[in-house]
Amino acid sequence: MSGGNNLTTDGELRYMIQWFNEWSELQRQDFLPILLECLSPESYVNGLVGGMAEASCNDKPMSLFQCRVKLFREWSSKWPQNIKEKLSEKVAEIDPTFGDKFTNELQILQTNGTNSSVSEASDAVNDHNDKSPTATQEY
């Protein structure tokens, strides 16, 4: 059964845009380093945010947010650069504040290759899932 493999890249992109629309401000903040990881040079983010998908998932079931992040990681690893850029453009249209922060963080990564907020925010996904009722809500 390969039902999960029938999505096109455009379909995956549409899901991500829909999910971003549904996410709380806190979840969007937690998604920032993940999106940066997707669009940043691999040499910088290698391992920095990578362990986040598996962290804290051994003790309890993953939240809906964590499942969506996991799918995003799987999908975006196969996306061409233009689809990744389209996602960043769409989320910036939906949430201009997020878009500005994303652009600033990406420029910092590209100029000096270091950004402490990426590592700080990478810990936040699991931290907020314990505190945020929307993160574990089922639809």
As a residue count, the chain comes to: 139
How wide is the angle at C-alpha 109 spanned by C-alphas 36 and 49, nearest 5°? 45
pLDDT tens-place values along the chain, 139 residues long: 344 568 899 999 999 999 999 999 999 999 999 999 888 755 444 444 444 444 444 668 889 999 999 999 999 999 999 999 999 999 999 999 999 999 999 888 878 654 444 444 444 444 444 444 444 444 3
In a domain, 102, yes or no: yes
Domains identified in the chain, total number:
1
- Cβ within 8 Å of residue 6, ≥6 positions away: none
In a domain, 33, yes or no: yes
Q: Which two tokens stand for residue 135?
A: 């993160």
In a domain, 99, yes or no: yes
> What is the 8-class DSSP label of residue 132?
-
Full domain range(s) for residue 86: 14-46+60-110
In a domain, 52, yes or no: no
- Residue 3 CA to residue 133 CA, distance in Å, equals 30
